[in-house]
């Protein structure tokens, strides 16, 4: 996932400021922006804590006391939508929405400034378009009463309206603070010309049937994404424009579909697993696992490279977030690997490829999303992802072995048996955590949504009682970071769901399914084409929006070919991870470069051997389904 850190955002924001001293208006905007931060970040942090408490309490009462709380899921759903929208507002403030930055990175400062203004204008357009439909949707939901809490559903639906208004306010403040008013007007003029052109072309677009989808979704969406507009906003603008011009549907249906896409209860595990990933870095659980692996194989040629792959495999089983995985592992290993003579580019190639390898290790957020939008068993996906990831890890190990044969490890001391035993004892509580998570889901103690709360409580207890590295002052920033990243992810799910609904209503879904069903080569041809298609989608759209858009369309086709749904899901995720972490378009690759602080040009050439090994592993999994179907 491509999410800008607050530090990067600050740099971007600073580059957009005028060289002159801030005006009175800018100072006022800055003060209001700081108050807005408090207004959104404090409630969002409280909501994350409340969700953890509600879900864990539900597990205790249902499994421990055999007295299920009938209202817990309903309350969690209400709080969840508010968390999604407040998180989206925070992400807009921090510049943390997922977007493709390759074009902006290749331009000079002046043109980056213009693209920033254009991106801001697109966000403004979307929220202005969505406010009235959100108000209509909220009013409609007032007539519905929730069964357990017996309150109007408008209390929950109001979150989308409030979030949209707050996001518009954030955009206006950003325009003032960054002095991009002139560029914004130019961007609005461009969008006005495009709107006029579409209006004039409406008679023609209405007569060409579904070919008009190429204009709205095949042209507008890619142009907005390439220009650097947030992916979620690009989806939303295209969908609203298409429905407003080509159909008689009320635009409140877009808000309804967004609500459906963001409110699925199983998705509540996403912010909780993100927080868990941040916790294991803060509390040192990741560090003790790395220390154990280093004691075991750190003295071998390429030893720390093996440690990186193994650590990514273990940590992915805890955090569920590739960004959290890389951020937890890189600061621990990369400095020592550099000291031992590893090239910086090779380090990033290995870091990004190991993150791609680990995408199917539970509790992967992408696996949870697949299960949510396609109905595939999440417990089955959690079981099915382990062996394919292990096969990919073996491929990376083979590449490391070949590239490390001439490494000089003469000065590296081999750990004694006593040191290894001590490292094992220290790491044992951390090593148990992935087993606890998987056992809780498979045994039925907790659902895929609830198990994240168990992992958080376990991590907190271990850090307080055993590791004694729980930093209370860091909890607030971690909770806010969780809300921001969750909002950036979940608003994509919302607008992508609306876009997928529009494509389905147009009849495109049936046409695509028929075309894919007729692919030459039957089952094998369909699998091969799926690998290519999802690798491309993974590099352009990232895993989550790609699976939300195309998963419901292609999974039924796979079933018609007799392909097991779990096997196909694992194949899809493996393919998307290849695209996500492969340069030059893979956003995850650039994220790895940012975490490792290495110029992408130095790392690009080093990725290919590792990615080739993962591609071979993906092909093997496609040809041998039982690798993804243990116990089935």
Residue 252 to residue 580: CA distance in whole angstroms: 33
Token pair 């990232």 in the structure block, residue:
542
Residue 130 to residue 170: CA distance in whole angstroms: 15
Task: Give the residue from 513, 516, 566, 569 showing the smallest Cα distance to 546.
Answer: 569
- Per residue in 115-155, pLDDT (tens digit) is 888 888 899 999 999 999 999 999 999 888 888 888 899 99
Token pair 């693209």 in the structure block, residue:
115
Residue 350 to residue 334: CA distance in whole angstroms: 11
Counting Cα atoms < 13 Å in the Cβ hemisphere of 323 gives: 24
Residue 36: is its pLDDT beyond 60?
yes
Q: Which two tokens stand for residue 466?
A: 């055993």
Mean per-residue pLDDT of the chain: 81
Residue 7: is its pLDDT beyond 60?
no
- Per residue in 356-387, pLDDT (tens digit) is 888 888 777 788 888 888 888 887 888 888 89
**What mean pLDDT do residues 327-350 have?**
73
Residue 163 to residue 402: CA distance in whole angstroms: 52
The percent of residues in the chain predicted with pLDDT above 70, rounded, is 88
Residue 14: is its pLDDT beyond 70?
no
- Per residue in 197-238, pLDDT (tens digit) is 988 898 888 888 778 888 888 888 888 888 888 888 988 999
349 pLDDT band (50/70/90 cuts)? confident
The percent of residues in the chain predicted with pLDDT above 90, rounded, is 14
- Per residue in 513-548, pLDDT (tens digit) is 777 777 787 788 888 888 888 887 777 666 676 777
pTM: predicted TM-score of the whole model, two decimal places: 0.76
Residue 5: is its pLDDT beyond 60?
no
3-state helix, strand, coil split of the chain in percent (to 5) is: 80, 0, 20
Q: Which two tokens stand for residue 144?
A: 């519905």
**What mean pLDDT do residues 401-428 have?**
78
Helix 231-246 and helix 475-506: axis angle, to 10°? 30
Residue 553 to residue 514: CA distance in whole angstroms: 10
Do residues 258 and 518 lie in contact, with contact meaning Cβ atoms separated by under 8 Å?
Answer: no
Residue 351: predicted pLDDT: 84
Residue 408: predicted pLDDT: 63
Q: Which residue has the higher pLDDT, 88 or 332?
A: 88
Q: Could you give phi then psi for residue 410, rounded to 5 degrees?
A: -60, -30
Residue 19: predicted pLDDT: 41
Q: Which of 16-20, 158-162, 189-193, 607-611 has the lowest mean pLDDT?
A: 16-20
Please state the length of the chain: 632
**401 burial via Cβ count (<10 Å: 0-12, 13-18, 19+):** middle
């Amino acid at each position: 996932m491509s999410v800008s850190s607050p530090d990067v955002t600050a740099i971007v924001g600073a580059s957009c400021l005028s060289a002159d001293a801030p005006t009175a208006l800018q100072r006022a905007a800055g003060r209001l922006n700081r108050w807005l931060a408090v207004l959104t970040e404090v409630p969002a942090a409280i909501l994350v804590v409340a969700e953890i408490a509600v879900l864990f309490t539900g597990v205790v009462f249902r499994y421990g006391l055999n007295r299920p709380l009938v209202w817990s899921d309903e309350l969690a759903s209400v709080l969840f939508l508010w968390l999604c929208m407040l998180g989206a507002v925070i992400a807009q403030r921090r510049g943390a929405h997922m977007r493709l930055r390759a074009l902006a990175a290749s331009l000079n400062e002046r043109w980056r400034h213009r693209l920033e203004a254009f991106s801001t204008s697109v966000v403004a357009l979307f929220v202005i378009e969505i406010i009235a439909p959100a108000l209509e949707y909220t009013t409609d939901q007032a007539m519905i009463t929730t069964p357990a809490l017996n309150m109007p559903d408008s209390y929950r639906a109001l979150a989308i309206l409030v979030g949209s208004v707050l996001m518009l306010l954030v955009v206006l403040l950003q325009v003032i603070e960054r002095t991009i008013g002139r560029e914004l007007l130019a961007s609005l003029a461009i969008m006005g010309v495009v709107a006029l052109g579409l209006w004039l072309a409406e008679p023609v677009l209405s007569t060409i049937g579904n070919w008009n989808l190429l204009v709205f979704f095949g042209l507008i969406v890619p142009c907005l994404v390439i220009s650097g507009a947030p992916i979620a906003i690009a989806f939303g603008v295209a969908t609203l424009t298409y429905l407003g011009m080509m159909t008689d549907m009320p635009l409140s249906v877009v808000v309804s579909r967004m609500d459906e896409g963001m409110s699925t209860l199983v998705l509540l595990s996403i912010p909780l697993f993100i927080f868990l990933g941040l916790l294991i870095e803060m509390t040192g659980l990741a560090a003790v696992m790395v220390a154990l692996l280093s004691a075991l194989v750190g003295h071998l040629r390429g030893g720390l490279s093996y440690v990186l792959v193994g650590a990514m495999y273990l940590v992915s089983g805890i955090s569920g977030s590739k960004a959290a995985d890389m951020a937890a592992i890189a600061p621990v290993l990369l400095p020592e690997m550099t000291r031992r003579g590893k090239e910086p580019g090779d380090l990033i190639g290995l870091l990004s490829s190991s993150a791609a390898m680990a995408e199917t290790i539970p509790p992967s957020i992408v696996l949870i999303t697949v299960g949510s939008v396609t109905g595939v068993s999440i417990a089955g996906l959690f079981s099915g992802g382990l062996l394919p990831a292990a096969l990919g890890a073996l491929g990376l190990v083979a590449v490391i072995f070949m590239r490390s044969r001439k490494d000089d490890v003469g000065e590296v001391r081999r750990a004694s048996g006593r040191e290894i035993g001590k490292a094992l004892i220290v790491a044992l509580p951390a090593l148990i955590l992935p087993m606890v998570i998987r056992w809780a889901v498979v045994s039925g103690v907790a659902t895929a949504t609830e198990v994240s709360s168990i992992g958080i409580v376990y991590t907190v207890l271990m850090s307080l009682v055993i590791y004694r590295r729980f930093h209370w002052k860091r909890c607030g920033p971690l909770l806010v970071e969780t809300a921001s990243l969750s909002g950036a992810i979940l608003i994509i799910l919302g607008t992508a769901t609306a876009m997928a609904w529009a494509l389905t209503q147009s009849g495109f879904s049936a046409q695509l399914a028929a075309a894919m069903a007729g692919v030459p080569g039957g089952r094998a041809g369909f699998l091969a084409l799926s690998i290519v298609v999802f690798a491309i989608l993974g590099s352009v759209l990232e895993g989550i929006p790609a699976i939300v858009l195309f998963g419901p369309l292609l999974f039924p086709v796979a079933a018609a070919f007799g392909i097991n749904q779990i096997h196909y899901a694992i194949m899809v995720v493996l393919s998307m991870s290849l695209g996500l972490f492969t340069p030059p378009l893979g956003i995850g690759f650039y994220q790895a470069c940012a975490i490792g602080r290495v110029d992408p040009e130095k790392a690009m050439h080093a990725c290919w051997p590792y990615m080739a090994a993962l591609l071979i592993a993906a092909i093997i999994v496609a040809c041998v389904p039982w690798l993804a179907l243990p116990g089935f």
